[in-house]
Amino acid sequence: MSEQTVTGPAADDEAATKAHLAKVGKPEGPRNNRLLTLLAWVVGLLFVAPVLWMVLTSFHSETDAASNPPHWFAPLSLEGYKSFFGAGPWPPLLNSLTASVVSTVLVLLLAFPAAYALSIRPVKKWTDVMFFFLSTKMLPIVAGLLPIYLFAQQFRLLDTIWLLIILYTSMNLPIAIWMLQSFLAEVPAEMLEAAQVDGAGLIRTLRSIIAPVVMPGLASAALICFIFSWNELLLARVLTGTVAGTAPVFLTGFVTSQGLFLAQVCAASLVVSLPVLAAGFAAQDKLVQGLSMGAVK
Amino acid sequence: MTTDTAATSAKPSREAPPAESKALRKAGDWARRAPLLPALIFVIVMTQLPFAATLVISFMNWNAYYPDERGFAGFDNFARVFTDTNTRQAVVVTIVLTVAVVLISLVLGLLIAMLLDRKFLGRGIVRTMMITPFLIVPVAAALLWKHALYNPEYGLFNGLLTTVFGDNAPQPDWITNNPLWAIIVALVWQWTPFMMLILLAGLQSRPLDVVEAARIDGASSWQIFRHMTLPHLRQYIELSGLLGAIYVVQNFDHVFTITSGGLGTANLPYFIYQTFYTAQDYGRASAAGVVVVLGTLIIAMAALRTVFTIFKEESR
């Protein structure tokens, strides 16, 4: 469209530029755009296809789910979900919920003041402290697992949810501090000065002045911590058993004991992933900041 | 005024005198440190102590099945870690797995990020679809690949082959034929969105007016990409690659679920888990743990430096 409307003295030049722009793929080029849209959709669908297949399979009967070639349009059935919920997944789901929620709360309680000390009126050498926190995140968990196991065995903490809560808290604390630090650094100085003039103490300042301003940051840090705790398998697998086993542990055990019931496996995987999917979609734009530990905004 | 606020403690010291005494400033320093300490102490206790203990145990003969033989072992465990074929295999698997997953998902992530950086119909929806693999619980994702996709009898892949080529279609056993690749592909599927997200953030932080100006000046797409986008993205590529590497080096869920370390796919985390949990050889497991940390340290140093550069630039 634009190419045809160009007339006048500089038309040659402009037309050349326009043609050139169209060739190099400027977003506005209509045909280019259609191709681009198509390509992007194909790639997106390709990546989401396994999940869609999981959803579809989870709603098929076991016989339809296990058919080759696949019965795409087989009647929907809740068989998979019925057998999953019949297998007693509630205690593990509740354990996961407890471990994730309580550790997330603990993380925020520890990280929020720490982030304050690292951003607003920072302590000396605050960057060093920040990098110390980050470096602990890079220590492979497996390298500290044995002493933790032996310690827990000694103090009868194996297979308790408290052990997991404490470990998940230490696992996520560095991420939360990094995220919150970058949020707190953006709190306007005038607000804090005003609070100081009014004689507000540290806890009051944190609770009534800063917390409301950085609420979105707190929320996304909480979601990221929740996701990481909910996903964790290795620690839970080694340190818990029948009592405090979490949903991921249940998933692995459940599949081996039940054999291969595809619809059931898909239903189970989906149900366990549901909280993370919800949290992730809700925090989509903040996901990057959390995943890069606040390094990228 | 700025010096005044900077010198005032976190607890308001009510009308600080113009020339603060040393004692007062010291008190201020402590009030400033106090909010940091609980987190700092907690993290030190929870991360440094267990690793120090691992280090100690790595120099010990300690197998839970032979409690009487516990004692100092010197470098024996390390010698065994480096001479034992299983361990060496685990080291190789870890390197291959990490390098392959990070490189493939980085390249795919970059291409997709560049696609999603453009404006098109339903960009938000495609972005959401792209992120979804990352939001499936890792164990669940591994189960999905193992049973719903790879399974030779009723997995989707062979099902599609039957649909397309009919009853005589080849029906490969994906996991048995290429066990390591089965894990790599599943991991790439899960990690590409991670790379894509960080690179997309990098792309969108690029100053557009400069790119636009270059385009008007007749720079080709390739030139813009090569000389403007890529240098700008470098930090983000490094960051996503290194962070990805740190997570993939530690991968346990996929190896555990898809092959249970069989068929020569045991990586170091799985190997350590097995040595300590099943074989109960605490000394050797710890030595392997120390080796993993040393390996990770190299990647971590580079990662920290990259984060540091970005961090410095942003807080300027």
CA atoms within 13 A on the CB side of B308: 15
Q: Per-residue pLDDT averaged across A253-267, rounded?
A: 79
Instruction: Please tell me the predicted confidence (pLDDT) of residue A8.
Output: 44
CA distance B136 to chain A (A): 5
Q: Determine how many CB atoms are found less than 10 A away from the CB of residue B266.
A: 24
State chain A's mean pLDDT as an integer: 84
Query: Is B165 an interface residue toward A (CB < 8 Å)?
Result: no
**Alpha-carbon torsion (A164, A169, A172, A174), positive or negative:** negative
pLDDT digits (tens, 9 = 90+) for A10-27: 445 555 555 555 544 444
Model pTM? 0.84
pLDDT digits (tens, 9 = 90+) for A145-177: 999 999 998 998 999 999 999 999 999 999 899
Query: Is B64 an interface residue toward A (CB < 8 Å)?
Result: no
Which residue on chain B is closest to A196 by alpha carbon?
B12
Q: Per-residue pLDDT averaged across B217-242, rounded?
A: 86
Instruction: Please tell me the predicted confidence (pLDDT) of residue A257.
Output: 61
Instruction: Please tell me the predicted confidence (pLDDT) of residue B11.
Output: 39
Instruction: Please tell me the predicted confidence (pLDDT) of residue B132.
Output: 95
* Whole-number Å distance between alpha carbons of A176 and A168: 12
The candidate with the shortest Cα–Cα distance to B259, out of B190, B161, B186, B154, is B186
Q: Which two tokens stand for residue A78?
A: 């809740």
Instruction: Please tell me the predicted confidence (pLDDT) of residue A17.
Output: 55
Residue B291 has pLDDT above 50, yes or no: yes
CA distance B71 to chain A (A): 16
- Bridge partners of residue B60, in order along the sequence: B72
Q: Which amino acid does the sequence have at B246?
A: I
CB contact under 8 A, B240 and A66: no
CB contact under 8 A, B14 and A199: yes
pLDDT digits (tens, 9 = 90+) for B144-192: 999 999 988 888 999 999 988 888 888 899 999 999 999 999 999 999 9
CB contact under 8 A, B36 and A273: no
Which residue on chain B is closest to A39 by alpha carbon?
B115
Instruction: Please tell me the predicted confidence (pLDDT) of residue B4.
Output: 40
Coil, helix or strand at residue A296: coil
Q: Per-residue pLDDT averaged across B246-260, rounded?
A: 91
Query: Is A185 an interface residue toward B (CB < 8 Å)?
Result: yes
Which residue on chain A is closest to B223 by alpha carbon?
A24
Query: Is A10 an interface residue toward B (CB < 8 Å)?
Result: no
Query: Is B307 an interface residue toward A (CB < 8 Å)?
Result: yes
Query: Is A30 an interface residue toward B (CB < 8 Å)?
Result: no
Q: Per-residue pLDDT averaged across A2-11, rounded?
A: 43
Q: Determine how many CB atoms are found less than 10 A away from the CB of residue A9.
A: 7
CA distance B174 to chain A (A): 15
Instruction: Please tell me the predicted confidence (pLDDT) of residue A250.
Output: 92
Q: Per-residue pLDDT averaged across A125-134, rounded?
A: 86
Q: Per-residue pLDDT averaged across B99-106, rounded?
A: 95
Query: Is A107 an interface residue toward B (CB < 8 Å)?
Result: no
Which residue on chain B is closest to A229 by alpha carbon?
B137
* Domain annotation for chain A: domains and CATH numbers: 91-258+277-295 (1.10.3720.10)
Confidence of residue B312 (pLDDT cuts 50, 70, 90): confident
Confidence of residue A259 (pLDDT cuts 50, 70, 90): low
Residue B15 has pLDDT above 90, yes or no: no
Cis peptide before A69 (omega within 30 of 0): yes
Q: Please provide the CATH number assigned to the domain covering B83-315.
A: 1.10.3720.10
Contacting residues of A for B116, CB less than 8 Å apart: 40
Residue B14 has pLDDT above 60, yes or no: no
Contacting residues of B for A256, CB less than 8 Å apart: none
Confidence of residue B27 (pLDDT cuts 50, 70, 90): low
Instruction: Please tell me the predicted confidence (pLDDT) of residue A16.
Output: 56
Instruction: Please tell me the predicted confidence (pLDDT) of residue B42.
Output: 94
Q: Which of A94-98, B33-37, B71-75, B285-289 has the lowest mean pLDDT?
A: B71-75
Specify the DSSP class assigned to residue B15.
S
Query: Is A157 an interface residue toward B (CB < 8 Å)?
Result: no
